[in-house]
A and B are shown apart, each in its own frame.
Chain A
Amino acid sequence: DAKTTQPNSMESNEEEPVHLPCNHSTISGTDYIHWYRQLPSQGPEYVIHGLTSNVNNRMASLAIAEDRKSSTLILHRATLRDAAVYYCILRPPWGGATNKLIFGTGTLLAVQP
C-alpha cells in the first residue's frame, strides 16, 4: 500500500488560511488522493479528493503537485470547529482486493482564537 507522510501537528490562528501538506512519493498513476478529518469524539468525515487537478468544494481546496508526489489541503479561513486530525490517504481505484482506505498518522490541527 502506498504511504503518505504528514506533519504530526500544526497550529493556526482563527480566520487565517491553513495549508496542510502531505507527501506521497510512491503514489501510483491510478491512486486517488483523499482527505478526511476526525473531530474529537467523532468518526472521520470526508473532506475532499482529487486525482490530478486542483479541486475546490465548500469545505476546502486541494492543490496537487504536477508530479503528484505531494498535495496540500487548504482551509481558507480556519475556525475553532476545524480543530481536528486531518488524514491524507491514497485510495486505489475500486475493484477486487483494493477496496480499502488505509489511514496514515495524520496531522493534528490546533486553531487558536
Chain B
Amino acid sequence: DTEVTQTPKHLVMGMTNKKSLKCEQHMGHRAMYWYKQKAKKPPELMFVYSYEKLSINESVPSRFSPECPNSSLLNLHLHALQPEDSALYLCASSQPGRSNTGELFFGEGSRLTVL
C-alpha cells in the first residue's frame, strides 16, 4: 500500500465555519507534511511532523491548526479562514532517517473554497 489518502476531496466553507482536512497513510512513514498550492503555482510547505511531533511551522497563520494524533493520521483544522486561503491542500509522507531516500508520497489533495 503506497497511498496517501486525503478527505474530503472538495470542501466549501464560509469564513465563520470550522472544518478539518484529514490525511491517512499506512506505509509506516514517520514524517508527514502539509503543503498549500494555489493555481499555477508550486506547492508551498506549511507544516512538517516528525515522529508525531511538529518539527516545522513555516510561519503559517493560526487559523490553520495541524494535528498528528498518531503515526498514520494527520489533520488540518480550519477556522475563520479568508477567501485567499482557497487552494489545493496537499498531504505527504516520508520515511525519515539518513539512510532513506527522502522520497515524499503525496495524496491527491483537498480542494478548499472559502466563501
Whether A and B are associated in the same complex: the answer reads yes
Q: Which of A94, A103, A104 contacts B96 (CB 8 A)?
A: A94
Flag if A99 contacts B56 (CB, 8 Å). yes
Chain B residues with a Cβ closer than 8 Å to the other chain, count = 27
Chain A residues with a Cβ closer than 8 Å to the other chain, count = 26
**Interface 0/1 of B18-57, CB less than 8 Å to A:** 0000000000000101010000001111001010000110
Q: Does B69 reach chain A (CB closer than 8 Å)?
A: no
Flag if A94 contacts B100 (CB, 8 Å). yes
Flag if A99 contacts B96 (CB, 8 Å). yes
If over half of A's interface residues share one DSSP class (helix, strand or loop), that class is named, otherwise mixed; here it is loop
Chain A residue at minimal CB-CB distance from B58: A100
Flag if A101 contacts B45 (CB, 8 Å). yes
A85 to chain B, nearest CB (A): 8
Flag if A49 contacts B102 (CB, 8 Å). yes
Q: B residues within 8 Å of A by Cβ?
A: 4, 31, 33, 35, 42-45, 48, 50, 55-56, 90, 92, 96-98, 100-109
Leading 4 A-B pairs by shortest Cβ distance: A43-B106, A103-B42, A46-B103, A103-B43
